[in-house]
Structure 1
Amino acid sequence: MQNTIRDMARYIKNIIPPNIPETYTLKAMFEHVSGEENIRNGILAFRDLLYLVCDRLIADGSLYDKPVKNTKNNVSHPSLPVSYPFLNNVKSILFNIGYHGELIENGGGILLDDLKLLTSVIGADGGKMKAKISNPKLIEALRFLTCCGIYFDGIDLDARTLDMSKATSLKISYPDNPVMLTGLKVMAIAQKDLYTKGNHDILLRCDYRVLKDEDTEVISILKDFVAPLPAVVQDFALKLHQRYLDAGLTCIVDVFYLGIRFIYSHKNKEIWTFSAAHESGYRILIKAQNTHIYSDVIETFPLPLQEKISRGYGCNKKLFGEPCQKGCHGFSFPLDDSIIDISQDIEVWLDKEVSCLQRKKHLSN
């Protein structure tokens, strides 16, 4: 079943950091934009704007859902530009305003001297895509942003079409909280200039962490990641994280488009992962490849878990031409209340898998 723009908006709202600190040191590259305190306040205001955008899409998503071609592939590997073009247009326009616009009136407005700059479609890395936002779609997205409290002076949004040749400049304001424009400016710069592989869509996620002059501890990012989950599941995830860092595993955070992963590895070999994606939700993925060595332990697990392990994981070649079922991701379990029933079994299972890998490494040395 094709997910709706409402589903995507709910997901994005969940992955926007809920606990942005009021004090942190910024990279020197932002000194020219504004003072640190003003930028930090702007980031909080921009985060709140993103929440508002999500809330409006959740409430009125049916107005903006578009029929999607090639549904099977989009369900398997959906992308924002293809599956949710309206949302991608909104994101692109916000980026174009922030990146190309000039803060004016002591940060109370943004001046964009060329309306055509709004029409660039922006990818997950902040780069321009070949496509352009058409005139009708531009009007639609600007009207939506007006409903979110952003004002555009120099353009008639009641008109059926926009005459790009006559619009010489555009002033953007946000009367509800003008400092938001400073936050938008900084996050747009970060999206373009601080993008790295494994950290997509910085702007849409309001990933303020890339602005900081110091690295953010993984545990802090994980706490934000699990914040939407039930408290007991949050406790399980944080406990598992610490347990296997103590056991010598490494953890890296990877954001591919809007999918987020915390990958736990032994000597660069992935063992298990916390994962979130809008099409599959929050999950724990286990890539255990040594179950045959400790089959006696697996026999002590609940029967449904035993049966799942016995089926193994991977992509069935007979699925070629059908929607990808992500079998290569490993044994997959939802991160919800159901995981608590087998939480102790998962710990025992992972302990055994890690022990096998450590033993193999010792023997090879």
Structure 2
Amino acid sequence: MSQLSIYIHWPFCEAKCPYCDFNSHVRKSINQEEWTKSYISSLKYWAQKFPKSKINSIFFGGGTPSLMSDRAINEILSTIYKHWSIPSDIEISLEANPTSSESKKFKSYSASGINRLSLGVQALNDKDLKKLGRLHTAKEARNAFDIASCNFNRVSFDLIYGRQYQTLKNWESELLDAIKMTMGHLSLYQLTIEDNTRFGQLFSKGKLRGLPEDVSSVEFFNLTQKVCEANDLHAYEISNHCKKGQECKHNLTYWRGKPFLGVGPGAHGRVDINKKRYMTEAPSNPELWLNQVQNSEFKNFKFEQISHTAHAEEYIMMSLRLKEGMNINHYTNLAKDELPNDKVKQLIIEKLITLENNILKTTKTGKLLTNYIIRQLLC
């Protein structure tokens, strides 16, 4: 039996955060019933293509999927359970904002089958939350975490560091505070300025002040690793830290290059048919996606075969983010070729990677230069 994961993308938010370049949109009103029917139609379409698959994980992302109605979550999960084989230990995650209105739904989400919650906290002080365009307060974030911990066995939350005018001392204090709260998993992202965002626009005009310089960015990263390791939160991926056994199974699907379905506006997927890898992509515009699904125009969605080379390159880019590294034999099997031996040797000499028992990993120094290492290996 083939194995799949499923990603459900809910594209709507109450407001667009100034740093966010995800496929998220603000709408005055949303017909939840209409959207739920379309998600169900889309899932049934994929069930016809992959009817005998075991679903390893389900992830509701966005956007802000905690804006979905209880009924929508329940009906979508019921559809998945009806059409595929579901193991008893399946991980079902949902991203949520910590506003008081959304945290009231946590109990019903748990009853529907959600068993892992990921909270978009981003900062633990009101001043920085306001700068980041967040609609919740630090108090609401803590309250939401308390409510979540009473309803879910697994709760993670996100923080952004390297924020405007943030000092290393302040970040260390905030991180230690977060570690006291955590149930065993933290996602810690250094603020990245993307072009197609409000922050990107301000930065291009020289109006986004107080960001760390390159040297400071390295110090922020190193401090984050040091503090987390000292508190038994290992970095199983560049930005994700957890206690043993608390890794996010769904995200490991991406980083290990396993197949998954993407459902919803702008959702990407990777599926295998007859030992060939295909990429799928839905229209990113919410209304266009809705219209095409309602008219069963799935033929308009992207469904393209990926070459052996492209598949192997994706594996390099994703697996090197992991502490466990990449399996050379698996790469060779995908690429029908070997990694450039001269490049590998040079990276070992530079002490950026290690290669033992056919497992290639980045070193502590190399982790900071992951993109450089990837470029070298793809030459």
- More strand per residue: 2
- Higher normalized contact order (CA 8 Å, seq sep 6+, divided by chain length): 1
Between structure 1 and structure 2, the one with the greater Rg is 1
- More helix per residue: 1
TM-score (norm 2): 0.23
